Structure 1
Amino acid sequence: MRFDVLTLFPEMFTGFLQSSIIKRAHEKGLIATNLINFREYATDKHRTVDDTPYGGGGGMVLKPEPLFAAVDDILAQVDERPPVILMSPQGVPFTQAKAEELARHSHLVLLCGHYEGYDERIRQHLVTDEISIGDYVLTGGELPAMVLMDSVSRLISGVLGNESSAVDDSFSSGLLEYPQYTRPPEFRGMKVPDVLLSGHHARIEQWRREQSLLRTWQRRPDLLRTAALTEEDRAFLRELERKYSHEQ
């Protein structure tokens, strides 16, 4: 996977790219990241990338010329146009399904804005996707870009040490992940569930599935509307509803 990141603050990515799993993925050649300061594509002597909005109003708006020129330069080097993604609070919500979709590409271009916003021509004629990581506003698109890069990278084969980790994560199955435990089997009187110590794999898998359903039902019931559920899952959820209603 190749990430081209257009940003006015490439130094913000230093710690992210040089730590932990992302660092090892780069060292293995599984990921390549190209940080591009699009100020370098401004043509005036002051390297201006923003201006006041037409019609008045507060804040500054990113000009189209530097971003268009930077993306044109990237596209001139490749045979196939990659997704050009604008990190924006106006974008579609970023989900695990979207991460999986993007991970099927071999090249992504991420645009990180600053200031009040973007010239609308960038949205209409340059980008292919607008993505938001939540209903709140940040000072720029760099942190959202890192979130997207991290989420997508861990889906690339070889990035995680255990390939099943990404499969079992919350949201990968449409449900929240089941509770996890490790040694010791008892800590300050708190015990690991007996089933996990039993060595009975079928019972463990059933327990994990039921716990995943329970946790989703308790914390994110909205996910159950679109999750792939078996008849056994639905029966378990009906029993939860019945039990809960009797306790009220």
Structure 2
Amino acid sequence: MITFHIITLFPEAIEAYLRASILGRAEKRGVLKFNLVNLRPFGLGRHRVVDNSPYGGGAGMVIKIEPMYRAIQSIKRKLKASAKGGSASGGNSSRLRPATDGQSKLLKARTILFSTRGKVFDQKAARRLARYDHLILIAGRYEGVDERVARYVADEEISIGEFVLSGGELPALVVTEAVARHIPGVLGKQESLEEWKGSYPVYTKPEAFVPDSRRKGTAWRVPKVLLSGNHKNIAAWRQKMGK
């Protein structure tokens, strides 16, 4: 079972979405797990400071490395403990080796930082990340996260597109849902997983919709092939329209 560990200053924002989505329902069924880690308690001093001004000057604040490092290490320590005597390999490795019932297996973890200069996320990346047991997702804020997190702590940087957001919570949710859709039991039908391959137009009742009843001949109609009942023709039409 995969566990998503999301480090954020606003866990309530992520929790609200999870409660209202297929992700929350999947967690209730025991298909996957979420661990929302509030960065604030890992802050420095009495006021739990998590940010500071950038070296070299510039606008905005930067998330400090100390609280982020502490938060990530806290997650990894718990993973080691749950591995029952397993030991992590050195360096910036993404693999932990636990002992379970006398047998060793690889408990895989991946630490991801969201960044505009990261590799653009796609369906291929979603399938790859779905093979991990644990994903540690770093949702930054303000002007970004201290570069040492990307250089020494994260396993990879991911971008969800060439645009700027106020924080990493939305990218974390995008990646989480895209990855979760590849986990058996999350979706009701395999077809839902494959929608990305070529999404064809969909229609529902009424067969004809008239936007302005005062004008004749303006009905917006459902294509006749979808009303034919011929599943072979319908499949061919969907394949053609989905290209």
Give the TM bin, normalised by the shorter chain: 0.7 to 0.9
The partner residue of 2:118 within 68, 84, 91 is 91
Partner of 1:195: 225
The partner residue of 1:121 within 148, 156, 175 is 148
Letter in 2 for 1:88: S
Q: Distance in 1 between matches of 2:182 and 2:203?
A: 23
Partner of 2:134: 107
Matched, 1:135 2:157: no
Q: Tell whether the 8 Å contact from 1:75 to 1:81 is kept in structure 2 after alignment.
A: no
The partner residue of 1:185 within 196, 204, 207 is 207
Q: Tell whether the 8 Å contact from 1:7 to 1:112 is kept in structure 2 after alignment.
A: yes
> For each residue in 1:48-98, what CA deviation from the matched residue of structure 2 results, as whole angstroms up to 9, or x when unmatched?
111122222222111111111111121122233511111122211121222
Partner of 2:241: 211
How far the C-alpha of 1:33 sits from its partner, in A, is 0.8
> For each residue in 1:171-207, what CA deviation from the matched residue of structure 2 results, as whole angstroms up to 9, or x when unmatched?
xx2xx31111233433433332222233333322221
Runs of 4+ more than 4 Å apart: none
Q: Tell whether the 8 Å contact from 1:157 to 1:163 is kept in structure 2 after alignment.
A: no
Letter in 1 for 2:32: I
**Identical-pair percentage:** 44
Q: Tell whether the 8 Å contact from 2:111 to 2:138 is kept in structure 1 after alignment.
A: yes
Matched, 1:28 2:32: no
Letter in 2 for 1:17: L
Give the SS at the match of 1:181: coil
Q: Residues 38, 20 of structure 1: CA spacing in aligned structure 2 closer, same or farther, 3 A cutoff?
A: closer
Q: Tell whether the 8 Å contact from 1:4 to 1:33 is kept in structure 2 after alignment.
A: yes
How far the C-alpha of 1:43 sits from its partner, in A, is 3.8
The partner residue of 2:180 within 121, 129, 153 is 153
Letter in 1 for 2:187: L
Q: Distance in 2 between matches of 1:109 and 1:63?
A: 18
Give the SS at the match of 1:137: coil
Higher helix content, 1 or 2: 1
Partner of 1:63: 64
Q: Distance in 1 between matches of 2:46 and 2:206?
A: 64
Q: Distance in 1 between matches of 2:144 and 2:128?
A: 26
Give the SS at the match of 1:130: strand
Give the SS at the match of 2:138: strand
Q: TM-score, normalised by structure 2?
A: 0.79
Higher strand content, 1 or 2: 2
How far the C-alpha of 1:23 sits from its partner, in A, is 2.1
Gaps of 5+ in 1: 214-248
Partner of 1:239: none
Give the SS at the match of 1:118: coil
Q: TM-score, normalised by structure 1?
A: 0.77
Letter in 1 for 2:152: H
Q: Distance in 1 between matches of 2:44 and 2:147?
A: 20
Q: Distance in 2 between matches of 1:16 and 1:109?
A: 18
CA RMSD of aligned residues (A): 1.7
Q: Distance in 1 between matches of 2:162 and 2:202?
A: 29
Gaps of 5+ in 2: 80-95, 97-106, 211-218
How far the C-alpha of 1:121 sits from its partner, in A, is 0.8
How far the C-alpha of 1:165 sits from its partner, in A, is 1.3
Q: Distance in 2 between matches of 1:20 and 1:43?
A: 34
Q: Residues 158, 108 of structure 1: CA spacing in aligned structure 2 closer, same or farther, 3 A cutoff?
A: same
